[in-house]
Structure 1
Amino acid sequence: MDINDLMPAELRVWQAFPRGTSVDLRTADDEDTAQGADWGPERTVRAAVLRALLLNSPLEDGEIPALRLAGARITGALDLQHGTIDHAIRLSDCFFEDVPLLYASRLRQLDLTGSVLPGLAAATVRVDGMVHLTGCRFLGPVRWDGAQIAGALFMDGCEITPPDAVGPALRLGYTAIGDNLWAPGLRTHGEVRLSGASIGGSASLDDARLSHPGSVALDGQTLAVGGDFHMRRIHTQGWIGLRGARISGRLDLSYARLSNPGDAALRASSCTIGELWLRKSPPMEGTLNLRRAQVDALLLEPEAVPDEVLLNGLVYTTLTPHEPAERRLAMLNKDREGYLPHGYEQLTASYLRVGDDHAARVVQLAKLRRHRRTLPWYGRVWGHLQEITVGYGFRPMLACVWLASLLAVGSAAYSLHHPRPLKASEAPDFNPVFFTLDLLLPVISFGQEGAFAPQGWYQTLSYALVIAGWILATTVFAGVTRTVSRQ
């Protein structure tokens, strides 16, 4: 490119590039970059000039060249596809008329802080340093599919508003980020795609606003995060998908507002998470899906649980905060798949780990009661008998109460009317207490039952006591067997 053909602003950039000095064309610190289309020739730089600088740059001995430009209107498409750029690029607070084309290029560092762009095409790009998109406003989709960024990706305060939602607004699918993804305050209208991406450090979407009603707002299937994934105070319209994701640290959804009525609001099935925090949040509008997820520490406040959950196969080591069993059982009752014993076993195990045996027994009783509703009528009858008599083996003192009550009734009845002896010469002295015990205890004999024969309604009472004794003995045996088997 002939230097004599450059406009004044372009000439300043051309002369500053070899020394890496900055060119600032801004007229005020608070100017609105979105009005860049109205900037005149004194602030206009052609993309072809920037391309020529970056690919065929003039160099000066002892100097480190770099493109540092602020407050410019860049006309034409900045086409660096398949190119190798050995110099840092900083185009801050610039207005781009066309989408920069960075497909399959290799860059040293990229900084577009505060700029307004119609989109960005940077699929499979390789960046040896960091990428700064802080405060950028994109009027079209941003594509980073398959990119490799050795450093961090900064998108804090970034806004992406494509004119339609045909495709994803932000594509980071299968992108490899060596450091952090820093995007608090991100605003998007359309899908954010993180499927298959890997983040070596942590990710932050704190205070983000992701809008894609009725569809996927954030797709993070098989996402891998080496540190924490913060989504505190995030607001979403649409669902978050994290199926198969691996988050080594904490997935923090504190103060989050997730909304996708009529469908899942959070799909985190088959994922592996170090810590999952759902706290200080209103119940999400939609279903919480944690099927087959593995979580080391689950911080789940009952108030944050929505009306429908899917928890089959969820495995967690610890459950906090410590809540009464009744509050946790309400969550299991919301499972859309109905009765699933695995959820009760997990909750029981979490209480046993902290030594709360009473809460563990309450959970087991609730499990057996809910299972009873799935049985045929005779199974439900037997279940009711087990609960009334021994509390399914978890309340053995009930059996003593029943035994004492039946013994008192029988003893009182037979003390008022002694049954006649079968053989008066051989019968022992009648004892109403031991006669009643003979009727109640099927495997113990005190010699009273076989020696006396009650008549009339006393005989009916004796039959009733024998039947009650067998039922009591059977339910006690079943309950004890169940308790011993669990231990």
Structure 2
Amino acid sequence: MRVPEDLNPSERRLWTAFTEGGQLDLAEGRDARTDVRRATEWGPERRIRAAALTALLHGVREASGGTTALHLNGARITGALGLRHLRAECSLLLENCYFDEPVDMAHAEVLSLSFRGSRIPGVDAYGVIARGDLMLSHVTADRIELFGARVEGRLWLVGARLTCADGYALDAPDMVVSGGLYCGGGFTAHGGVNLYGASVGAGFELDGARLVNSRGFALRAPNLVVASDLTCRNAVFAGGVNVFGAEIGGQFWLNATRLTNTDGWALNAPNAKVGGGLYSRGGMVAEGGVNLYGATIGAGVELEGGKLVNRRGAALRAPHMTVAGDLTCGDGFSAVGGVELSGCRVAGRLSFRGADLGGGEPMVLTCTNAEVREFFLDRLRSAPGVVSLAGATVETIHDDAGFRPESLDLDRARYVVLAPYRPARDRIAWIRHGRTCYQPWCYEQLAAYYRRIGHDEDARTVLLAKQRHRRDTLRLPAKLWGRLQDATVGYGYRPLRALGWLGSGIAATAVFFALHPPKRATGEGTPHFSAVAYAADVFLPVLDLGQQRAFVPQGAGQWVAWAAVLAGWVLATTVIAGITRNLART
């Protein structure tokens, strides 16, 4: 490869180092990160013209000795480095360098590419292909364009500081990285990161990162594919995160992460698929709420200690989400705006133990048509509000005496166990709390639960409460008839009341006729008068002791006798109605 004649001394040293397979270090032992900040003070001995680099790279095929890397450290690159459509069978390593102008590498192809520790006005690497790693760690740049890039190794952005006033600081839609994508260690992107449709063949790390975007999502990554974990521990996303339809093969970590979005969801992940779990151990702050509509989680969801706020709707919105493990939102979890889990399917536990589902405001919890194995609603710190389990299917519901929402909807809800056991009077108040409309299903389910555990008396108490609630919905005549049935036999669920009424009626009638005996009827063979037998004969319509035919009451006794006959028929009718109701249920 012919050496150009117009090279300065530093460029000749670089040319020699390149052809011999070595490195040119113009920093000469200085602290590279501190040194590059003072690049404007460097002398001419550290300057390399971009044109010289371009000539060197375009002539690489002529190099002898199998040169594989152009490695330059601590140089100031003057002029515009234009490497568009470059095809170089070598690695390009320009580290801890200062670039006067942006770098154009659109559609270039190299073995590996590194700008580690450099300061660059911007990098246009649209469609670039790196056969190895692409290293941008600790880079300071205005904008990095990686639209459609192909990185067959790993992409490093650890500690990088990117700033863009009119677009994404890192713009990499449809990028494919065969290895991992590493953006931790203080990575900052003022202008946000765009990874729409990108694919990462290993893990994606954003631990400790800070992404800021005032015009949209701080991390825009719909349809992102990550083969392993997506980790965002201790990260800040001012503008929120959008991973709509993303596929994450491993875990999704949000420990101590802060997400804020004043115009939309703080975490927007509808239809996302996570092969492992979604975890925010140590608490997560999401100002703008979390949207997991239709998401599929292959393990558990842990949101303990999370602080979710949404003034426009539900703080946690996850209708039709599927969770293969537990969904736990307890131990300090707070949701200002409530929780929406309609149609959600949780194979394990759904726990709000110790949670505040209103953040100081009335709680809102909607689990309509949800399917859950165990549901924990005990030790809630919420102000009374609205809870809906309408149509839900739950094996076990755990609550405590403190669970008293303003409105509890259990219509069409199915459950097997209520824990702990509480007597029927407490549970009746539980299902009636804040509900004025008559929902027979709620009573039937509660009665069935008591029968399953062998508490038949509790079951009858529930069914009696059901009839009383139904009576409140009827018109006056039916309501009066219902009150009569309730008073006499408790709608058939208190049959011993009939004996009390029967005994009292016969005794009162007997006392009256003992004091005012009826007149003996004419004819022979009439029995001797017995006040008790006469009262029983009059009071019981199905009993014939011969007393009523043999004796005729006089004066007021006629009215007493007719009243006793009427009372007897009423009592008999209510008893028959109660028996019929019980037989029909059986």
Q: Which bracket does the TM-score occupy, shorter chain normalised?
A: 0.7 to 0.9
TM-score by length of 2: 0.64
Higher-Rg member (1/2)? 2
Q: Distance in 2 between matches of 1:406 and 1:360?
A: 25
Of the three residues 451, 456, 463, the one matched with 2:566 is: 463
Counterpart of 2:194 in structure 1 is: 143
Counterpart of 1:323 in structure 2 is: 398
Counterpart of 1:235 in structure 2 is: 285
Q: Is 1:71 aligned with 2:103?
A: no
Of the three residues 508, 511, 519, the one matched with 1:416 is: 511
Number of aligned residue pairs: 454
Give the drift of 1:392.
Answer: 8.4
Counterpart of 1:159 in structure 2 is: 210
The 1:109–1:341 alpha-carbon spacing in structure 2 relative to 1, beyond 3 Å, is same
Counterpart of 2:144 in structure 1 is: 100
The CA RMSD measured in Å over matched residues stands at 4.8
Percent identity at matched positions? 20
Determine if contact 2:495/2:575 at 8 Å carries over to the other structure: no
Determine if contact 2:140/2:160 at 8 Å carries over to the other structure: yes
Once the two structures are superposed, residues 278-298 of structure 1 have per-residue CA deviations (whole angstroms, 9 ceiling, x without a partner) of 111254110211111111221
The 1:415–1:248 alpha-carbon spacing in structure 2 relative to 1, beyond 3 Å, is farther
Give the drift of 1:72.
Answer: 2.5
Give the drift of 1:261.
Answer: 2.9
Of the three residues 273, 296, 299, the one matched with 1:224 is: 273
Determine if contact 2:335/2:357 at 8 Å carries over to the other structure: yes
Which one-letter code corresponds to 1:230 in the other structure? Y
Alignment of 1:230-309 (within 5 A): 230-232=279-281, 233-274=283-324, 275-297=326-348, 298-301=350-353, 303-306=355-358, 307-309=363-365
Counterpart of 1:362 in structure 2 is: 427
Give the drift of 1:138.
Answer: 0.7
Deviates more, 1:135-144 or 1:420-429: 420-429
Once the two structures are superposed, residues 120-171 of structure 1 have per-residue CA deviations (whole angstroms, 9 ceiling, x without a partner) of 0110000000000002111012000101111010011111112x2x322211
Give the secondary structure class of the aligned counterpart of 1:92.
coil
Give the drift of 1:82.
Answer: 1.4
Counterpart of 2:474 in structure 1 is: 378
Determine if contact 1:178/1:200 at 8 Å carries over to the other structure: yes
Once the two structures are superposed, residues 60-89 of structure 1 have per-residue CA deviations (whole angstroms, 9 ceiling, x without a partner) of 9xxx9755564332x232222112111212
Give the secondary structure class of the aligned counterpart of 1:207.
coil
Alignment of 1:53-64 (within 5 A): 56=88, 58=90
Once the two structures are superposed, residues 221-243 of structure 1 have per-residue CA deviations (whole angstroms, 9 ceiling, x without a partner) of 10111110012311111121111
Give the drift of 1:27.
Answer: 6.7
Q: Distance in 2 between matches of 1:229 and 1:449?
A: 83
Determine if contact 1:190/1:217 at 8 Å carries over to the other structure: yes
Deviates more, 1:308-317 or 1:222-231: 308-317
Determine if contact 1:261/1:286 at 8 Å carries over to the other structure: yes
Alignment of 1:408-447 (within 5 A): 408-418=503-513, 445-447=542-544
Which one-letter code corresponds to 2:146 in the other structure? L
Give the drift of 1:189.
Answer: 1.4
Give the secondary structure class of the aligned counterpart of 2:266.
strand
Higher helix content, 1 or 2? 1
Which one-letter code corresponds to 1:113 in the other structure? V
Counterpart of 2:126 in structure 1 is: 81
Give the secondary structure class of the aligned counterpart of 1:263.
coil
Which one-letter code corresponds to 2:509 in the other structure? Y
Counterpart of 1:474 in structure 2 is: 577
The 1:138–1:367 alpha-carbon spacing in structure 2 relative to 1, beyond 3 Å, is same
Give the drift of 1:377.
Answer: 3.4
Q: Distance in 2 between matches of 1:25 and 1:422?
A: 138
Determine if contact 2:315/2:338 at 8 Å carries over to the other structure: yes
Deviates more, 1:403-412 or 1:199-208: 403-412
The 1:24–1:334 alpha-carbon spacing in structure 2 relative to 1, beyond 3 Å, is farther
The 1:59–1:273 alpha-carbon spacing in structure 2 relative to 1, beyond 3 Å, is closer
Q: Which residues of structure 2 form unaligned runs of 5+?
A: 43-73, 93-109, 164-168, 379-396, 440-468
Give the drift of 1:90.
Answer: 2.5
Q: Distance in 2 between matches of 1:207 and 1:17?
A: 50
Determine if contact 2:314/2:337 at 8 Å carries over to the other structure: yes
Give the drift of 1:327.
Answer: 5.0
Determine if contact 2:208/2:236 at 8 Å carries over to the other structure: yes
Q: Distance in 1 between matches of 2:291 and 2:84?
A: 43
Give the drift of 1:421.
Answer: 9.1
Give the secondary structure class of the aligned counterpart of 1:264.
coil
Give the drift of 1:112.
Answer: 0.7
Determine if contact 2:511/2:531 at 8 Å carries over to the other structure: no
Give the secondary structure class of the aligned counterpart of 1:456.
helix
